A and B are shown apart, each in its own frame.
Chain A
Amino acid sequence: MLLREIAHSRTGDKGNRSTISVIVYDMKDFSRIEASVTTERVKMLYKDLVKGEVERFVMPQLGALNFVLHDALGGGVTKSLALDAHGKSLSSAILSLEIE
């Protein structure tokens, strides 16, 4: 099953870091995403784009994971050459992860 079936996601930017939340629609699915959407998988997913570390913060009461991707935005929105300089569209890619 794709993550998109059970969760939504939003991306923001802080300097050269991207923040990506993943939030389940139904709390019963939280333990699955907590086990499955690991920092390693996220780092692998964005390997073309993210040069730095990936951190993960867990908020079980909201059914949410919050990822911080370091050195992820080509120097940040003010100097990046990317068409999507904020990296706002990155959330759509994480939802394509396969979940057991």
Chain B
Amino acid sequence: MRIIRLGAGAGYSGDRIPPAVELAEKGSLDYLIFECLAERTVALAQLEKSKNPDVGFDPLLRERMRAVLPACKEQGIKIITNMGAANPHAAAKEVVAIARELNIGVLKVGIVSGDDVLPQLLSGDFSVMETGEPISSIEHDIISANAYLGSDPIVEALSLGVDVVITGRVSDPALFLAPLMYEFGWSSSDWKKLGQGILAGHLLECAAQVTGGYFADPGYRDVPDLENLGFPIAEVSENGEIVITKVDGSGGYVNTATCSAQLLYEIEDPSQYLQPDVVADFSQVTFTEIAKDRVKAENASGSSRPELIKVTIGKRDGFIGDGQISYAGLGALARGQLALDVLQKRIKSSGIEFLEIRYELIGVNAIHGESLSYGHDPYEVRVRVAARSKAQKDVELLVNEVEAMYLNGPSGGGGATKSIREVISAQSVLIPRHLIKTSVSIVEL
């Protein structure tokens, strides 16, 4: 039976590039897929694009393409990626320019658009899922609204014979499902096969998280050669059978434990994993280790795709200030605590009402809160005060107060830092499928 080999070349925007090159060179791949778009990334990219129409795509696009295009072109490996972010057209032009520089001959790049649904959202009557607020009430703060597209437009691009497909917002597993649908001609209502395709995509979309990354715990789970983790490969057969593996000789491992951990990663109800292409059902999934670093993944299924599609909106949501300073040696904890007490009084007397504020000691209670944190006095602590406000000047005052712990606080404070950032928060809206109009265009070298 025919088998297609999919490789995951990135699990997030900043991911390592050499493992992707290793996959391209030694993975005997048919497709190399890069998933690089986190929740608010499109909103940030949209802001960049509004200042300069030639940007707004993934900052590592050029470097990645330069690294993998030669091997991919030589072996006929097709590339699929959401690195287009807010500007797939500019990203595609960039890829063509790199191909020209590298002198690799003919290259056809497909561009998927239609995920930007801001106009549809603003002209309709929709509300934010998390808060119930009508869109009309936050209209002026919205920067971007992007629908999670399914596999259809990627399949369409592949059928036009492209070497590279560049998208903006697409459901992550759909980047992997699409080439399977295209190669095997799977029907878009073959829910069982689509469920298996989504399973392959979900297991691969975070790259090293299924090959031993984010897994090691010394003495409990010792991962071999962690510094040279290989990225994963899914071998998928026409009837939907999946084997997860990696390049021989690369670091890490693939076993039933790494696959189970990744299966449950960021899914909620395993029987209803909502995707634009299918409601996937992972509740009966089983894993079998058939050889070293080879795991068979079976028994995913699915049911009719949802009529409502998730849209992520990015909106301006005030500012966050974060000020820190360290204390070490004898009495470090007491001095850190004193600094927090002083800061709390200073902030109170400033009269500013922050939307939210937290006072904490890194090394003592910053990560898991009071009730989970216990143990001996640490040798060193780091005071941290962070707050959110609609007004930038409020958070400026806050971080300056923390810095003032140098001359005005307890003895021996050091290494103060302060940072301020604008908050672009991500929220969700559901819109009917028919409002989304996708299209595919081509640029060639």
Contact = CB atoms under 8 A, between A and B. Distances in A.
A62 B217 CA distance: 20
A8 B217 contact: yes
A88 B348 CA distance: 32
A19 B265 contact: yes
B39 A78 contact: yes
A33 interface: no
A64 B264 contact: yes
Given A57-B270, A81-B387, 17 more contacts: A8-B221, A8-B257, A14-B268, A15-B427, A19-B264, A23-B257, A23-B260, A48-B372, A59-B264, A63-B260, A68-B269, A75-B425, A78-B39, A78-B423, A81-B320, A82-B358, A83-B366
B125 interface: no
21 contacts: A10-B215, A10-B265, A14-B266, A21-B264, A46-B372, A48-B369, A48-B371, A57-B270, A61-B285, A62-B264, A63-B260, A68-B268, A68-B269, A76-B425, A78-B317, A78-B426, A79-B320, A81-B320, A83-B360, A83-B366, A90-B368
B261 A10 contact: yes
A66 interface: yes
Contacts of A55: 268-269
Interface residues of A, number: 41
Given A48-B372, A59-B283, A13 B367 contact: no
Contacts of A21: 260-261, 264-265
Contact of A49 (B264, B369, B423): B369
Contacts of A16: 130
Contacts of B286: 61-62
A32 interface: no
A5 to B, nearest CB: 8
Interface string B25-47: 00000000000000110000000
Given A59-B270, A61-B286, A64-B264, A81 B372 contact: no
Contacts of A81: 320, 322, 356-358, 386-388
Interface in B134-178: none
A79 to B, nearest CB: 4
B52 interface: no
Nearest to B357: A81
Contacts of B221: 8
Given A57-B270, A78-B39, A84-B367, A93 B372 contact: yes
Interface string A1-29: 00010001010111111010101010000
Given A19-B266, A78-B425, A83 B362 contact: yes
A96 B388 CA distance: 32
A16 B130 CA distance: 9
B266, B287, B320 interface centre (most CB from chain A within 10 Å): B266
Contacts, number: 119
A33 to B, nearest CB: 13
A19 B267 contact: yes
A79 B356 CA distance: 10
Contact of A15 (B130, B260, B371, B387): B130
Given A48-B372, A79-B423, A81-B320, A23 B264 contact: yes
B172 to A, nearest CB: 12
A89 interface: yes
B444 to A, nearest CB: 37
Given A66-B270, A77-B39, A81-B356, A10 B264 contact: yes
A36 B408 CA distance: 51
Nearest to A83: B366
Interface string B381-422: 000101110000000000000000000000000000000000
Interface in B39-61: 39-40
A15 B312 CA distance: 10
A19 B261 contact: no
A93 B368 CA distance: 8
A63 B261 CA distance: 11
A76 B426 contact: yes
B370 A66 contact: no
B268 A19 contact: yes
Contacts of B217: 8
